[in-house]
Structure 1
Amino acid sequence: MQLVAASRIEIQVIVDNVLDMLSSAPRFVLREAQQLRHQGMKRTSGGALCCASHGLSLLVTAHGPAGPRSLLFDGGPVDMAMERNATRLGVDFAAIEAVVLSHGHWDHAGGLPQALAMMRAANGGRATPLYLHPGMFRERGMRQPDGGVLPMDFIPAPGEWAAMGATPIVTAEPQLALDGLFYVSGEIPRVTPYERGLPGQVGRDAEDAAWQADELLMDERFLAVRLAGQGLIIFSACSHAGVVNVLHAARAAFPEEAIFAVMGGFHLSGENEKIIPETVRDIGGFDLPLVIPAHCTGWRAVNALERALGERVVPAAVGKLFTLE
């Protein structure tokens, strides 16, 4: 597939695990306080600020030959975080023309119903294409130390998404969206020996069925855009496939393109802290000019990446706006 190049790409962080209004940032990043002032904040207060929440939602706008096109990549965990943050950041929901749910986990899907409602209210009721993988609808849970299972919230079925104002596109195949400016990957091949998914996850297809191991999360996909003169920007919301596997898959899909940046949750926290050394080493091998860790990456991995890659690492946070050109 041929990705159309964008002259500028803007990435608005709507939901993330952390707030950080004070740390220095490069010139291409506006922090939350700067964003809120642009939206009319006259006095700082708790009620004026955004909130952090365990999850991720990114609004990606690519400026192509026919003008800007905007896609929402995940919706965070809950309606409250989506509504509060997007409203304060001035998100133009009428301009959002497509949505991608990266994989079947509540911390990426829970805020999407609210986002779809805000899109309908802003765009006159127009349905929005929603890219879904057919494997994301089974019930999932996490195996507990006592052998039991703590279930996760369900992912709405395609018909339920349609009732919320989406046009579900349910496929495991790669897709191009919005004038060819966005690439939604197919399933991500697992090629590294150390990236093994989400340890302890189980799944089942019916309430009375036995729980089965479901650590690989084959429904996870990445998003890619192409920045003219720079290369690909890869978005990996949770990297259960392994962020190095994601980068290998992106390189295989676009062998003639340089990879300029990777952004998202790299899932190097919890049980996956043990693979931080191999992951940091192999990310370094891609020689990326920009690495933007977010969400589930974890502070130990962010620190390890910064020690290895220096100023090429620019962590995400709620309210940050990245403008790349």
Structure 2
Amino acid sequence: MRRAPPVRFVIAVAVAISSGVLAADAPLITLTILHGNYIHNDSFRAEWGFACLIDGLEKTILFDAGGWQCALRPNIEAAGIEASAIDAIVLSHVHEDHIGGFACLLPLPHDTAVYVSSSFPSNQHDRFEVPGAIIPCADGPTEICADAITTGEIDGPVIEQALVLRTASGLVVVTGCAHPGIVAIVEAAQALFPAEPIALVLGGFHLADSSETMLRTIARRLIELGVERIAPTPCSGDLTREVFRELFGASYLEAGVGLVLEL
């Protein structure tokens, strides 16, 4: 994937690999947060919602497409990314702050695949059907490419799917808004690859209305599950970030639009 030289911040996430757990040729990947309400790099625009680009695998994947005010397009340009290089788009759930920016990506290459879960309303499909695009729908986990798989649908107040990446550092779980609960999503990811460490959980945690007591319980449970690094983004809430920052300590990452993580 070609990139212009953008102004950006890069955080290298170095996590010890358990002996024999991950293949020696596990890929090194780059995650770029392209949409959200927290700013990491002033060259980018803030907007409620989420989008994250994953680069370095067999396919370049966009997870979620941000909100309807189309901050996604200028943020893609600020990152020096060519939208035409996106091979696959994975949508976590139906809410507009995660799919509303899709139209801003058009036109897309004819072979770009759009992945939605089977419960995604069929009356919404037309908005994603650009000429030649494919919309594979599956109840269970779906492989996007080698080392990238969806969790499949996870039940909750809003049905949602997350993306699990296998990297040289361990598993990376990327979540849109975590309506089913961030613990449930991490447990679903862990069930796919039970022998592999969870290097990073990044995305929206949907905990803005949670009490401090509940937030501490959730954070401690994630630590018990072996989550090594945590990066809450939109839908998480300021108190969530404060509590997680305290409990995860140096393992907490300040996530915002324009953040680039190399794993």
Give the structure-1-normalised TM-score.
Answer: 0.69
Aligned residues, how many? 241
Match for residue 232 of structure 1? 171
CA distance in 2, matches of 1:272, 1:296: 15
CA distance in 1, matches of 2:72, 2:136: 23
Does the 8 Å contact 1:261/1:288 carry over to 2? yes
Letter aligned with residue 58 of structure 1: C
Larger Rg: 1
CA distance in 1, matches of 2:257, 2:127: 29
Give the structure-2-normalised TM-score.
Answer: 0.84
Q: How does 1:94-113 map to 2 (within 5 A)?
A: 94-113=84-103
CA RMSD of aligned residues (A): 2.2
Does the 8 Å contact 1:239/1:265 carry over to 2? yes
Q: Alpha carbons of 1:232 and 1:283: their partners in 2 closer, same or farther (altered >3 Å)? A: same
1:270 and 2:214 are equivalent in the alignment: no
Letter aligned with residue 60 of structure 1: I
Match for residue 137 of structure 2? 170
The unaligned stretches of length 5 or more in structure 1 are: 21-31, 34-48, 139-155, 190-196, 198-215
Give the % identical residues.
Answer: 28
Q: Alpha carbons of 1:164 and 1:19: their partners in 2 closer, same or farther (altered >3 Å)? A: farther
Match for residue 159 of structure 1? 126
Does the 8 Å contact 2:147/2:167 carry over to 1? no
CA distance in 2, matches of 1:221, 1:272: 25
The unaligned stretches of length 5 or more in structure 2 are: 1-21
Q: How does 1:168-207 map to 2 (within 5 A)?
A: 168-178=135-145, 180-188=146-154, 197=156
CA distance in 1, matches of 2:245, 2:127: 42
Match for residue 88 of structure 1? 78
Instruction: After superposition, give the CA deviation of every residue in 1:220-242 in whole Å (9 maximum; x if it has no partner).
Output: 011011112x2110111111111
1:222 and 2:156 are equivalent in the alignment: no
CA distance in 2, matches of 1:297, 1:79: 20
CA distance in 2, matches of 1:295, 1:225: 20
Q: Alpha carbons of 1:110 and 1:272: their partners in 2 closer, same or farther (altered >3 Å)? A: farther
Does the 8 Å contact 2:31/2:262 carry over to 1? yes
CA distance in 2, matches of 1:274, 1:101: 31
2:190 aligned residue (246, 251, 266): 251
Cα drift, residue 290 of structure 1: 1.2
Letter aligned with residue 281 of structure 1: R
CA distance in 1, matches of 2:91, 2:211: 23
Letter aligned with residue 88 of structure 2: A
Match for residue 38 of structure 2? 18
Cα drift, residue 273 of structure 1: 6.2
Could you say which structure has the higher strand fraction?
1
Match for residue 5 of structure 2? none
Instruction: After superposition, give the CA deviation of every residue in 1:193-240 in whole Å (9 maximum; x if it has no partner).
Output: xxxx5xxxxxxxxxxxxxxxxxx222x011011112x21101111111
Letter aligned with residue 76 of structure 2: A
SS of 1:132's partner is strand
Could you say which structure has the higher helix fraction?
1
Does the 8 Å contact 2:47/2:69 carry over to 1? no
Match for residue 52 of structure 1? 46
Q: How does 1:258-297 map to 2 (within 5 A)?
A: 258-270=197-209, 275-297=214-236
Cα drift, residue 164 of structure 1: 6.4
Does the 8 Å contact 1:79/1:112 carry over to 2? no
CA distance in 2, matches of 1:299, 1:251: 27
2:110 aligned residue (126, 130, 134): 126
Q: Alpha carbons of 1:274 and 1:134: their partners in 2 closer, same or farther (altered >3 Å)? A: farther
CA distance in 2, matches of 1:241, 1:225: 20
Does the 8 Å contact 1:113/1:164 carry over to 2? no
CA distance in 2, matches of 1:240, 1:8: 29
1:62 aligned residue (56, 72, 86): 56
Letter aligned with residue 182 of structure 1: A
